[in-house]
Chains A and B, each alone.
Chain A
Amino acid sequence: MGHSHGLSIEEQRKADLKVGKVGFIILLLVTLGEVGVALVGNGHIIEGHTWPAWLMIPLMISMSLYKAYYIVSIFMHLGHEVGGMAYTIVMPMALLIWGVIAFLWEGDHARHNRNYVTDPRPGSEIPIEEPPAETSMQLEENLSKEFSFQ
């Protein structure tokens, strides 16, 4: 609650304005930092100077996560709520991190194994590879079509 700490309205307003100002400056600087990393890293600022993806992407993700933490904790006031209530919000979101990793992993797997999936569009047929001679595997069409049940 706003003026529950024995502050007068004027003192409370002064403190509130400070929260707003500091928050604005922090969010603005972090956003400019992110855009700066993207522009410098992709070679738009200094000609021919780029940063590797393993440096840029974790930098940008951590800055975004910091912004998210700041908005939720300070602006949305979750940092000042009762601990149990804050956990009911933060825990489900934290568990989601594994979901993100698992699905991105799956997408990457699809990229490396796309050739094993049949594309129904015309002109996209991929010739079926002959099995290596040293294996005993037989292609389906080479198997005998006549079945015996005796």
Chain B
Amino acid sequence: MSASLAVPSNVLPSVRFRRRMALLVVCCASVAAFLIYLKVDPIEFFRDFHFVSDLIKQMMPPDLRLLWVKHGLWTSLLQTVAMAFFGTLIGSIIAVILALFAAGNTSPSWALRLGVRTLLAVERSTPNIVVLLVLLIAVGIGPFAATLSLCIGTVGMFGKLFADAIEQVDPLPGEALIAAGASRLQVIRYATLPQVAPSVVANVFYAFDVNLRLAVALGIFGGGGIGFELHLAQSVLRYKDMLACVILILVLINVMERIADALRRRLFLQEV
């Protein structure tokens, strides 16, 4: 008891304190260095606070009269939802079909499987904005380009996920069907898809959530919808309108989240 044991050096308080301090200093120094590199001065934010206060003064109060004065606004809101909905729906359908080709246990040939897998991997890592900018040239400015790029984004986001889910399906029910003389498509319809359906449905809801935000974002680049209205208000310096748009976006996303939640609950209750 009296002869005290040596404390292991990796838990010795003074050593750990020094190590922590070193880490903290390195982190702070690198953040500071990065800020200098970007020529960003965070202190200026407080010194020149009048930028912020001016903006707030110009934004207040939000011009919510827009809702009934400006007729196109409701259409814009609906358009954003429509883009997200349509993009998610078609994207998910394509993703499931491609996933069937990309999964080892359902794909007709390994070459096709490899090709589809590569395609999915490329789509997965391509940022949405790249797809959108290319599509804006190809199909022209408008919500259709944004919807298409949401489709492609959804395929990229979930194609691989679905393919992995399909590969992890329990093979026994399918084998039983084959033993009973079922064709390959019948096995997919009656054994494979029912097993992945819950995870697909859950992911489709998640995709809609992501896509709704993206639909707002892509709208800013000429995809239409409420994002475009926001960008317009900002670029013509109508800050009261801009704040109204921000509030509408917030409400829209919140309301859609609730609706999706309610739908999801009903759907899953029905299945159980």
Q: Do A and B bind each other?
A: no
Interface, chain A (partner B; CB < 8 A): none
Interface of B with A (CB < 8 Å)? none
